[in-house]
Chains A and B, each alone.
Chain A
Amino acid sequence: MSMQNIRAFMPRQDLIAFLVLAVVIFIAMPLAMDIFRLNLVGKYLTYAFVAVGLVLCWGYGGILSLGQGVFFGLGGYCMAMFLKLESSTPEATAIQSTPGIPDFMDWNQITEIPWFWEPFHSLPLALIAVLIVPTIFAYIIGVAMFKRRVGGVYFAIITQAVASILTILIIGQQGYTGGVNGITDLRTLLGWDIRSDSAKYVLYFVNGILLFACLLFAQYVRKSKLGRILLAMREREDRVRFTGYDVSNFKIFVFCLGAAFSAIGGAMFTLQVGFMSPSFVGIVPSIEMVIFCAVGGRMSIIGAVYGTLVVNWAKTSFSESFPELWLFAMGALFIGVVMAFPSGLAGLYRNHVGPFIEKSYKRLRLSYENYRKPDNLVTSD
């Protein structure tokens, strides 16, 4: 890549934003927090995967999905299935009537592992499934909807229905899915205890690195022509279509990408929190994830990460001190962001904080130059 290409991919401002975020995630947070808080941040950051995907889908592509929890959940479930099988050794489950299968299957009179669980004995297959299953699911929905030009509000409502179908299905088929409890009590990954403090540190950093990989890819998409086409499409879909683009393919792509990001987040969630449950698949978490994105600024991938962190941090601390007020605050946040700050934290930064920093920086630089001047007086004057 030539220097110019790099510049185009990552303008100076974006580079600074990426670096600052890297410092926050990889240095500041781990230094400032104990492992309990850090693990919490790690959990929040798994939602950031979804939010970043939503920036591309919704902010850029204009596709508002109210079912991102489906993909988060599917990714998380794929991971959880592997971990559950690993922890369901005949020794650990000796108390069951059929030892060696996950506990909830035993409770539901299932005596052997169902076929679709079989691939999850293998970690590589499970990891592939984490990415592939949600993406294919998104692809099917995407083809069905976008090829027929279903968009906007209708798409939002249908994704919502999909989320509710999947929730009922997971809860109803509890013998295969763990039902409303989810898949719980996950302990080890290839023998490595994921509940220990050291594992939590490692997982936090793995999570951070994966998030940055996703962010960099998202940045690449943003800055590629594809990013501009998405913007163009959102504004003038017909114009793009009559410029010779198959618009639906672009929508499908970005929807699948969002799904894949969410799935990675879901898998990391399972690893860090130690269980997966249908409460992430439903409508409420899916809409909450949209608000993370909206608070961060629906056009800013970095903003989405901060948005996720801020909302969740507020949620945790608010609900610790004033549990009853939390919903009021959350509701007000939704309304406030939509009505007063449609471009979220990123917009706030761009319009107020950024110029201020710029000004201060210039002033600083000016005073620095003034300070340097006396040295040069001899030659210059």
Chain B
Amino acid sequence: MNTPPLIKPLKRFTRRSCIHLAAIFATSLLTPAIAGAEVNTTGLAVTDKDVTVGILHSVTGTMAISETGSVQAEKLAIKQINEMGGVLGRQIKYIQEDGASDWPTFAEKSKKLLVNDKVAAVFGCWTSASRKAVLPVFEQYNGMLYYPTFYEGLEQSPNVIYTGQEATQQIIAGIDWVVKEKGAKKFFLLGSDYIWPRTSNKIARKHIEKLGLKVVGEEYYPLGHTQFNSVINKIKLKKPDVIYAIVVGGSNVAFYKQLKAAGIDMTKEKPVLLTISVTEDEIRGIGGENIDGAYAAMKYFQSLPNDNNKAFVKAFKEMWGDDIVIGDVTQAAYLGPWLWKAAVEKAGSFDIDKIRAASPGIELTTAPEGYVRIHENHHLWSKTRVGLAGKDGQYKVVYETKELMEPDPFPKGYQ
């Protein structure tokens, strides 16, 4: 599953796509390599030839399902950067560690990466719990973590760049859209029982109530729960216009299959199902025919029609196989190494403090999702889109915010 990337992929990576990408990233390529002595004084694993970074995700355990895509994306980005000459003239080497879906293991491995391997940056984590576990380690040893997942917000660390969306970015645009386009008035909130769905639903509820509309139900089920018939019955009774679902992991499959079997047809006018937790990745498990007609609000869909994305999808498939799908988090993970590269080059150094100082304002015009910019609060300015799920397991983008959404991890009035 995780073959060292430098052997197989190099063969597969065609010259044409190299040139294409090279053109896209021409600006960054032109940055001159800076002499070793200057950048090499940081105590990090940087030599004149290469620089070592860490990849820290679960490849075993329950979370391996979700985190695999992120690992693949990060490896792809690293490979592409290397092919373009690396960062400050140095090839990126990576050390991959397995968090094993176990939060203390994440803490332990992050400490190893920072203290023993002295990596220059870490791309990793997926769940909030794993991020919370490693956060003190990064702050203590002054490392830099690029965290890819959309998450609940309520956090802003000098040692983390959040490349996914925080909750308000995802939620507010989605709800505004469904209210405007579908005339939704009654919402039923549903989620797996942990912090992200609960916090997100809290923001959603505040926003819905601010709009003068009504939440007719709010339900949580334990992670891994597979029997949703009771809640489906409640939904039928309450007759909401929108089912706002933040179910995660294996529960998703059960939920959508049972929803469909119970005769709630999402392709019909009502109720609309709006989710912020189902990416193309998850649809693979759910089955396109079971989620046909649902809407998702997030910043990236594989079907985005821009050129950046076409090149990205192509390169991704060349590296990891044709039958692969790319979800929101995978794309966000792909941004990590590029954002880091840009920050390093802007700072002219691998030094963490300098990178931190350089990060805000960094923009990536080459991002598959289009354009992103790092906010002062270390989150990304990004657009939010609404996609309509189809039988083929892909989303069709039906709406895109005009402006970039400002990241607001501590939203006033939503807490």
- Whole-angstrom CA separation of A274 from B104 in the bound complex: 9
Instruction: Say yes or no for A303: interface residue by CB 8 A criterion.
Output: no
B102 interface neighbour in A109, A275, A279, A327, Cβ under 8 Å: A279
Closest to B115 in A: A36
User: Do B194 and A171 touch (CB < 8 A)?
Assistant: yes
Contacting pair A277 B100 (CB below 8 A): no
Q: Does A181 contact B (CB under 8 A)?
A: yes
Verify B129–A108 contact, CB threshold 8 A. Answer: no
Which residues does chain A contribute within 8 Å of B96, judged by CB atoms? Answer: 323
In whole angstroms, how far apart are the Cα atoms of A107 and B104 in the complex? 23
Residue in B closest to A98 when the chains form the complex, CB atoms = B415
- If A179-B195, A323-B98 touch, does A36 touch B112 (CB 8 Å cutoff)? yes
Interface-forming stretch among A136-144, A147-155, A182-190? A182-190
> Is A174's beta carbon under 8 Å from chain B?
yes
Q: Which residues on the B side are within 8 Å of A326 (C-beta)?
A: 60, 98, 100
Q: Which among A95, A107, A275, A323 is the interface contact of B199 at CB below 8 angstroms?
A: A107
Q: Majority SS of interface residues in chain A?
A: helix
Question: Which one of A39, A109, A273, A327 contacts B60 once the chains associate, using CB atoms below 8 Å?
Answer: A327
* List of A residues within 8 angstroms of B107 by Cβ: 273-275
Binary interface profile of B, 56-73, with partner A (CB < 8 Å = 1, else 0)?
000110000000000000
Q: A107-B415, A181-B132, A279-B102 are contacts. A40–B194 as well, Cβ < 8 Å?
A: no
Q: Which of A1-51 contact B (CB under 8 A)?
A: 34, 36, 39-40, 43
Residues of the B chain whose Cβ atoms lie less than 8 Å from the Cβ of A324: 1-2, 59-60
Contact B129 A180, beta carbon cutoff 8 Å: yes
Q: B1 and A279: CB pair below 8 A? A: no
Q: B71-109, CB under 8 A of A: which get 1 and which 0?
A: 000000000000000000000000011101011110110
Asked whether A171 lies within 8 Å of B108 as measured between CB atoms, the reply is no
Report if B262 contacts A (CB, 8 A). no
CB distance from B46 to the nearest CB of A (A): 20
B54 to nearest A CB, angstroms? 12
Interface Cβ pair total, 8 Å cutoff? 108
* B220 close to A172 (CB less than 8 A): yes
Stretch at the interface among B133-141, B207-215, B252-260, B338-346: B133-141
Interface string of A279-291 (1 = CB under 8 A from B): 1100000000000
Determine the distance from Cα of A97 to Cα of B116 in the docked complex, in whole angstroms: 39
With a cutoff of 8 Å between Cβ atoms, the chain B residues found around residue A186 in the complex are: 136
Q: Please give me the residue from chain A that is nearest to B130 by CB atom.
A: A181
Supposing A36-B111, A277-B129 touch, asked if A43 and B104 sit within 8 A by C-beta, the answer is yes
Could you say which of A108, A171, A187 contacts B193, with CB atoms under 8 Å apart?
A171
Known contacts A171-B193, A279-B104, A323-B59; decide if A185 and B129 are in contact (CB<8 Å).
Answer: no
Closest B residue to A288 by CB, please name it.
Answer: B102
Interface residues in B192-208 (C-beta closer than 8 Å to A): 193-195, 198-199, 202
The smallest beta-carbon distance between B332 and chain A, in angstroms, is 20
Q: Is B23 interfacial (CB 8 A cutoff)?
A: no
**Docked-complex contact B129 and A319, CB < 8 angstroms:** no
Closest-CB distance, B309 to chain A (whole angstroms): 30
CB of B43 closer than 8 Å to a CB of A: no
Across the interface, name the chain A residue whose C-beta is closest to B114.
A36
**In whole angstroms, what is the CA distance A273 to B100 when docked?**
17
Contacts of A338 in B (CB 8 A): none
Q: Is B261 an interface residue (CB 8 A)?
A: no
Contacting A95 at CB < 8 Å: which of B128, B222, B223, B410? B410
Which of A97, A103, A107 is packed against the most chain B CB atoms within 10 Å?
A107
Known: A97-B415, A326-B60. A109 touches B116 (CB 8 A): no
Contacts of A319 in B (CB 8 A): 60, 97-98, 100, 105
B97 to chain A: which residues have CB within 8 Å? 319-320
Q: Answer whether residue B154 sits at the interface, using C-beta atoms and an 8 A cutoff.
A: yes
Is there contact, CB below 8 Å, between A275 and B222? Answer: no
Q: Are A275 and B136 in contact (CB under 8 A)?
A: yes
The distance in angstroms between the C-alpha atoms of A107 and B203, with both chains bound, is: 11
Question: What's the least CB distance linking A195 to chain B, in Å?
Answer: 5
Contacting B at CB under 8 A, from A150-199, are 168, 171-172, 174, 179-182, 184-187, 195
Tell which of A181, A273, A275 has the most Cβ of chain B within 10 Å: A181
Tell me the complex Cα distance, A171–B111, Å: 26
* Docked CA distance A346–B170 (Å): 56
**What residues of chain B lie closer than 8 Å to A104, measured between beta carbons?**
195
A224 within 8 A of B: no
B222 and A171 contacting across the interface, CB-CB below 8 Å: yes
In chain B, residues 165-221, which have Cβ atoms closer than 8 Å to a Cβ of chain A? 193-195, 198-199, 202, 220
A316–B102 Cα distance when bound, in Å, is: 12
Name the interface residues of A63-79: CB closer than 8 Å to any CB of B. none
A323 near B2: Cβ-Cβ < 8 Å: yes
Q: How far is the CB of B198 from chain A (nearest CB, A)?
A: 7
| A275 touching B133, Cβ below 8 Å | yes
CB-CB < 8 A to B194: which residues of A?
Answer: 171, 174, 179-181
Q: Could you say which of B112, B127, B128, B132 contacts A185, with CB atoms under 8 Å apart? A: B132
Determine whether the beta carbon of B195 is less than 8 Å from that of A174.
yes
A97→B202 CA distance, assembly (Å): 15
Contact of B136 among A103, A109, A187 (CB under 8 A): A187
Chain B residue contacts of A107, Cβ below 8 A: 152, 154, 195, 199, 415
| CA–CA, A186 and B132, complex, Å | 11
Tell me the bound Cα distance from A171 to B116 in angstroms: 33
Select B128's contact among A108, A181, A279, A320, beta carbons within 8 Å.
Answer: A181
Interface string of A81-112 (1 = CB under 8 A from B): 00000000000000101000001101111000
Does A323 lie within 8 Å of B60, measured CB to CB? yes
Subset of 16 A-B contacts with CB under 8 Å: A34-B115, A36-B111, A39-B111, A107-B152, A107-B195, A107-B415, A108-B198, A179-B195, A184-B135, A185-B135, A195-B136, A275-B133, A279-B104, A320-B97, A320-B112, A327-B60
Known: A103-B154, A171-B193, A171-B223. 17 other contacts (CB 8 A): A107-B199, A109-B202, A174-B195, A179-B198, A181-B129, A182-B132, A184-B135, A185-B135, A275-B104, A275-B107, A275-B133, A316-B108, A319-B60, A319-B98, A319-B105, A320-B112, A324-B60
Interface residues of A (CB under 8 A from B): 34, 36, 39-40, 43, 95, 97, 103-104, 106-109, 168, 171-172, 174, 179-182, 184-187, 195, 273-275, 277, 279-280, 316, 319-320, 323-324, 326-327
* Minimum-distance CB pairs A-B, first 4: A323-B98, A180-B194, A184-B132, A181-B129
